[in-house]
Amino acid sequence: MPLSHTSIKIAHGDTHTATIAWYEKALAPLGYKKAMVFMDGAIVGYSDANDKTDWWVSAAKEGESPVASHHAFSAENKAAVDAFYKAGLEAGGKDNGAPGPRPMYGPTYYAAFVLDPAGNNIEAVTYSAE
């Protein structure tokens, strides 16, 4: 059965606000948009092109230390991977691996990596030859 949804916790305050804004811009080339907001913006859900809200960002509780993690989003093709990378950097993310083939992960693995404002390693990947 496929994964239903996943969420990450971001430090409360300015980092959370910056990260919410970053995801709105960086995930747009992959068909994602902000879809749900709860608890005055402390929890935000993003939906894919099929309106499935499967990516959640929440503010950590006071005194809680979130841990940086790695998450990969599927991209339709190489152009979408490239667009994600560009949008992620323009939105204030940091380069963690320019778009390109990653033959160590498979013959058609093409990906880009950007660190979000909270330090999470966010990847867009396609297995498409185009």
> What's the predicted TM-score (pTM) here?
0.90
- Per-residue pLDDT, averaged over 59-86, amounts to 93
- Selected residue with higher pLDDT from 130 and 44: 44
CB 54 within 8 A of CB 36: no
Q: Is the per-residue pLDDT at 82 higher than 90?
A: yes
Alpha helices in the chain (DSSP H): 14-26, 78-90
Name the average pLDDT for the chain: 93
Confidence band of 72 (pLDDT split at 50, 70, 90): very high
pLDDT band at 1 (very low <50, low <70, confident <90, very high): low
pLDDT tier at 46, thresholds 50, 70, 90: very high
Per the CB < 8 A criterion, the answer to whether 130 and 77 are in contact is yes
At residue 4, the pLDDT reads 80
Q: Indicate the residue type of 129.
A: A
- Res 13: pLDDT: 86
